[in-house]
Chains A and B, each alone.
Chain A
Amino acid sequence: MIVAPAEFMLILPEIFVLSMTCAILVLDLFLKDRERAISYWLAQFTLVFAAVITMTTGSGQGELAFFGTYIADAMGSTLKVFIYLVTFLAFLYSRHYLAERKLFRGEYYVLGLFAMLGMMILVSAHSLLTVYLGLELLSLSLYAMVAFNRDSYPCSEAAMKYFVLGALASGMLLYGMSILYGLTGTLDIGLIADSLKGQEASVPLVFAATFIVVGLSFKLGAVPFHMWVPDVYQGAPTPVTLFIGSATKIAAFAMVMRLLVESIGALQSEWQGMLVVLAVLSLAIGNVVAIAQTNLKRMLAYSTISHVGFLLLGILSGTQQGYAAAMFYIITYALMAAGAFGMIILLSRAGFEADEIDDFRGLNQRNSWFAFMMLILMFSMAGVPPTVGFYAKLSVLQAVVDVDMIWLAAAAVFFSVIGAYYYIRIIKVMYFDKAEDDQPLAPHFDLRLGLTANGLAILLLGLFPGGLMALCGRVIS
């Protein structure tokens, strides 16, 4: 049992992120408060450099390492790069927000990087144990991040809920995994897939699949396992919500791909039915309940639930094209979510949280440029062309129609019309209402730059979606 040195090259991004995170953790102890920016810059440097390493190493051939527990493939590398990007945005947007609330501590970046390391492991997992390892590293860091503002009662409450339900979900997942292990005798995802090939779906197998689907649904926040999502989104500090709402969704997609598609893909006809129910319920409940919200973070939480419904549509189609569509959907959604929460941060200032929908009143008068950015983001979430959200929905619908589930596509578009209402309500308050809050908006330069780039990216990807779509198609097949 010898690990070849070349295998270490494959996990170089993980090694790099881990060492840098530990270095920041130690270094941060010796920093004075006014030098805290060094931790921030180091964290950002880690992300950029990790992206460089990920893009230069790895042949994209699907090489296994460490006795088949780790896989370096094109899908993993691509997802990782987007995870770095979204994490980069999350750190960028949150810097001044945290500083203004005296929360600008090194732990935020250390925990964020550890969570991201968990995502990376999850993305590249090729064994049920590696999946679980990555998931727990991610989740534990997130629980701590949600409770980051420890003096705040809602934060602690949200963290508690998140922890209890997250632990329950992990338990479900583990239970499903253990049954699967018992039936196939292996933890290796590739071997599980081989041993299931051509096998009849027995009751225990379906049982295992059910528990895995339930566990995944908890993590994704699909109805009826969505209860934690609104409370956590609303209760957590906005930068943390941003992080949970964007980067972790990409990791969750990877987890679904590894666990459902790559390991028990042979049971596709079994889990397809479960996903249909989950998807339709998520679309229905997410979109309808979001209408009643007055808190923007809570509204975006329900909107996430409905977007998860769309994501599941892509996956349940069970075709390469569907997986590629789901991947395109989740990447663009992560960018949109990062932008939308970034807007909340932009409008907030010391002692004031702009997380109520009414706080956006008359934004067009106060700052027409960022009102326009928010307009793009909201229309994109609603799926109106020429924004990228439209192509995300288009590609998923195409995948669903291709497998002859036209009624499902019709239901999905019907609910997205309902969904359009609450997105255009944001635009309504920004453009049609008078501003009550006449404090001028004075965002920091880096936040302005980041949000502008984020909003324009949504528009430009909408005008030229071909490149990203082709990329997703290529790395899935």
Chain B
Amino acid sequence: MGEFPLLSLVIWMPIVGGLLVLATSQWPSLNPRPLALAVAVITFLTSLLLYTGFDVSTADMQFPEKASWVPAFNIYYQLGIDGISMPLIILTTFTSVLVILAGWEVIKERPAQYMAAFLIMEGLMNGVFAALDAMLFYVFWEGMLIPMFLIIGIWGGPRRVYATIKFFLYTFLGSVFMLVALIYMHTLSGSFAILDFHVLRLGLTEQVLIFLAFLLAFAVKVPMWPVHTWLPDAHVEAPTGGSVILAAIMLKIGGYGFLRFSLPITPDASHELDWLIIFMSLTAVVYIGFVALVQQDMKKLIAYSSIAHMGFATLGFFLVFTIMDNNAGSSHGSVMAMEGGMVQMVSHGFISAAMFLCVGVLYDRMHSREIADYGGVANTMPVFAAFMMLFAMANAGLPGTSGFVGEFMVILASFKASFWIAFLAATTLILGAAYTLWMVKRVMFGEVANDRVAALQDVNGREIVILGSLVFMVLLIGLWPAPLVEVMQVSIQNLVAHISVSKL
């Protein structure tokens, strides 16, 4: 592909397409859905070229693009991807197709604006993953809030206004301090390029402050305990598509931020404070796991399960230092921990999307998310029940599904760090199974609970396509994770090598 600006295409095509879809709202007779779907599918197919054209043997940034943007501040329009960001871009473009499909019949009110918001957000999220200039990253990162704010607020549930304002202010508060940190580093280095920040020498105090500023931004986004409280509200009130994007992509952006910013820019502070992240991650895994167990609302339960699963990803990222200290000279364990975290992020992207889509399927029919309103759904919706069972098993980390791979890698690596960390992390295998399967049991099995359940129609063709494609991905990564691990291997090895060298 050489000079062809593939990344710009993947970013701007959905945004321009989204604006076109928005324009169709001026003519109410036009149906915006086919156009939106076409844009999403073409973007997805284009993004596959990033995979096929990707060179797995190098950790350098690939598909680079660079153009001057704001010369007064040395800000460049600089793009490029490595093995860490590439899978996340494809996850984004894939999920966006599903989201457009999922909103096909359900969204009756202002569908053009709905589809346009998702397409524009898709472009912005791709931009976040592809940006190599910190200001460009920040623009995409903040810009992303605007469509999400509107999606939750316009098409959300009864408490949508509360949820969306909480979501907006929480994330905004988190990210402004990151902005100050970025500006500070620009003052030191005279550049906003992220790769220049990677090699910028910083004292320990500076590193700790910058690390904390980043932590606030990314921890809110992930979200980590104790700044997770916006997520259950946002998830419960968001329309199905919004929940899917939130869980599948937005949370990953927080995790991605740790890998792209916190760890390489402030390795010593990360080393100093890794106990804090490990503590927060384990709290998320154990405590939030228990919280999920007692939820009455299906979406809330999955939201809490997302927090617990993302705790695994952050645990994997920050275990590397302990593993390196324990096994001097061998980076094998730390690479595995970090890869485990990455696989967990990608896999959780598929599984959480699938779980929220399943709840969406039920909600579209019954207009209730309360577990107590259901019971015996398997009797009336057998095909759907099979799908949901599979995703629930994946959520619980059943071997053979993608959920197992990431969790297993992280637990295995954590034994090299400390038995107790591994022990606490492994409780997720019990807790995850408990809250997921108990929910499935109450919703799916038993006697048909009431007349409304008895009248349920099974999934239609559109829903089978959506859920079926997710089954394919979940099983593919579960049975054959090698292609995914292969693309990220070199980049993660490079990252581990980079952070093992002190910047002091």
A residues whose Cβ falls under 8 Å from a Cβ of B: 324, 364, 368, 375, 379, 384-386, 390-391, 394-395, 397-398, 401-402, 406, 409-410, 413-414, 416-417, 420-421, 424-425, 427-428, 431-432, 464-466, 469-470, 473
Contact of A394 among B69, B150, B165, B183 (CB under 8 A): B183
Contact of B177 among A385, A391, A410, A464 (CB under 8 A): A410
Contact of B139 among A368, A390, A414 (CB under 8 A): A390
Assess the A410–B154 pair: CB atoms within 8 A.
no
Assess the B187–A421 pair: CB atoms within 8 A.
no
Assess the B168–A368 pair: CB atoms within 8 A.
no
Interface string of B130-156 (1 = CB under 8 A from A): 000001001100110110011001100
Assess the A414–B150 pair: CB atoms within 8 A.
no
With A385-B138, A398-B186, A402-B187 known to touch, is A414 a contact of B73 (CB < 8 Å)?
no
Assess the A394–B135 pair: CB atoms within 8 A.
yes
- Alpha-carbon separation in the docked complex, A379 to B71 (Å): 24
Chain A residue nearest to B168 in the complex (CB): A424
B61 CB within 8 Å of chain A: no
- Chain B residues closer than 8 Å to A421, beta-carbon distance: 165, 169
- Chain B residues closer than 8 Å to A394, beta-carbon distance: 73, 135, 179, 183
- Chain B residues closer than 8 Å to A431, beta-carbon distance: 150, 153-154
Assess the B149–A466 pair: CB atoms within 8 A.
no
Assess the A420–B169 pair: CB atoms within 8 A.
yes
- Chain A residues closer than 8 Å to B149, beta-carbon distance: 424, 427
Assess the B180–A410 pair: CB atoms within 8 A.
yes
Contact of B165 among A368, A390, A428 (CB under 8 A): A428
Assess the A417–B172 pair: CB atoms within 8 A.
yes
- Chain B residues closer than 8 Å to A391, beta-carbon distance: 70
7 A-B pairs with the lowest CB-CB distances in the bound complex, closest first:
A413-B176, A385-B139, A469-B72, A466-B70, A432-B153, A417-B173, A385-B142
B154 CB → nearest A CB, Å: 6
- Chain A residues closer than 8 Å to B177, beta-carbon distance: 410, 413
- Chain A residues closer than 8 Å to B72, beta-carbon distance: 324, 395, 466, 469-470, 473
- Alpha-carbon separation in the docked complex, A402 to B71 (Å): 17
Number of B interface residues in the complex (CB < 8 A)? 35
A61 CB → nearest B CB, Å: 22
Assess the A432–B172 pair: CB atoms within 8 A.
no
**Secondary structure of the B side of the interface?**
helix
A208 CB → nearest B CB, Å: 33
- Alpha-carbon separation in the docked complex, A409 to B184 (Å): 10
- Chain A residues closer than 8 Å to B153, beta-carbon distance: 427-428, 431-432
With A384-B143, A385-B139 known to touch, is A424 a contact of B73 (CB < 8 Å)?
no
Assess the A470–B142 pair: CB atoms within 8 A.
no
B113 CB within 8 Å of chain A: yes
B252 CB within 8 Å of chain A: no
Contact of A401 among B70, B139, B165, B184 (CB under 8 A): B184
B161 CB within 8 Å of chain A: yes
B58 CB within 8 Å of chain A: no
- Chain B residues closer than 8 Å to A406, beta-carbon distance: 180, 184
B44 CB → nearest A CB, Å: 24
Interface string of B155-180 (1 = CB under 8 A from A): 00000110011001100110011011
Q: Which of B69, B146, B176, B187 has the most CB of A within 10 A?
A: B176
**Sample of 15 further A-B pairs with CB below 8 A, known A428-B165, A469-B73:** A384-B143, A386-B143, A390-B139, A397-B183, A398-B187, A402-B187, A409-B180, A410-B177, A424-B169, A427-B153, A428-B161, A431-B153, A431-B154, A432-B161, A466-B71
Assess the A414–B70 pair: CB atoms within 8 A.
no
Assess the A466–B69 pair: CB atoms within 8 A.
yes
Interfacial residues of chain B within 84-124, with CB under 8 A of chain A in the complex: 113
A159 CB → nearest B CB, Å: 37
- Alpha-carbon separation in the docked complex, A324 to B73 (Å): 12
